Amino acid sequence: MTLEALSNLAQIIGAIAVVAGIVFGWYQVRQFQAQQRNAVVAELCRTFYSRDLARAVQLLYSLPDGISAADLRARGSEYEEAAIISNTAFETMGLLVHRRIAPFDIVVELAGGMITVTWRKVETWIATIRVEQSQPSWAEWFEWLAHQMEAEKSRATPAYIRHRDWSPRHRGRVRRTPD
């Protein structure tokens, strides 16, 4: 083999190595992104197992939609604390969804209904807090998320209908039914 042939072979091998490195790097980045998504989803799930949030939502669900700040406060400090706890949780989720850190579809499935109902309960209270505190951005991501969830939930078929034919025993690809 001539020196020129060896040089050409080395260039081909080098090019293949570079392409293989790029493909492997791309694959590693995709794996890392999947791990990050799974970690965020796990953390979101953990949020919903919080006793504080569960108690807050339970208290807020007993309220009429759009309760005034005065009426909410008249029920006792635990109601305003419940509103603050739920606001904090959903505010964080809203920002994470907007920044594409938390997957929108997962948040819709996990908490879409809870977020929209909770928003309906406390939206008037939040408007009052914004004025009282001179803070128009207070609960901005909670409000944004509630509107996103409401829009999505209003056009989606509930999971118990959409996936009624799905079985955990089904092998291979999961059949998807249209929304």
Q: With a threshold of 0.85, does the pTM exceed it?
A: no
**Inside any domain, residue 119:** yes
The C-alpha atoms of residue 94 and residue 11 are separated, in whole angstroms, by 51
Is 178 a member of any domain?
A: no
Residue 82 placed within a domain: yes
Across residues 159-165, what is the average pLDDT? Answer: 87
pLDDT for the residue 173: 55
Give the confidence band of 174 by pLDDT, cuts at 50, 70, 90. Answer: low
Kindly report the number of other CB atoms within 10 A of residue 167's CB atom: 9
Look at residue 134 and tell me if it is in a domain. Answer: yes
Task: Look at residue 85 and tell me if it is in a domain.
Answer: yes
CA distances (Å), origin 7, targets 1, 71, 73: 10, 83, 81
Q: Is pLDDT above 70 for 176? A: no
Q: State the residue range of the domain holding 55.
A: 50-157
**Domains of the chain: total:** 1
In a domain, residue 65? The reply is yes
Asked, for residue 14, whether it belongs to a domain, the answer is no
pLDDT of residue 178: 55
pLDDT of residue 4: 86
Per-residue pLDDT tens over the stretch 121-155: 999 999 999 999 999 999 999 999 999 999 998 88
pLDDT at 110: 85
Tell me what the pLDDT averaged over the chain comes to.
88
For the four alpha carbons of 127, 132, 136 and 141, in that order, the dihedral sign comes to negative
Report DSSP state, residue 119.
H
Within a domain: 35: no
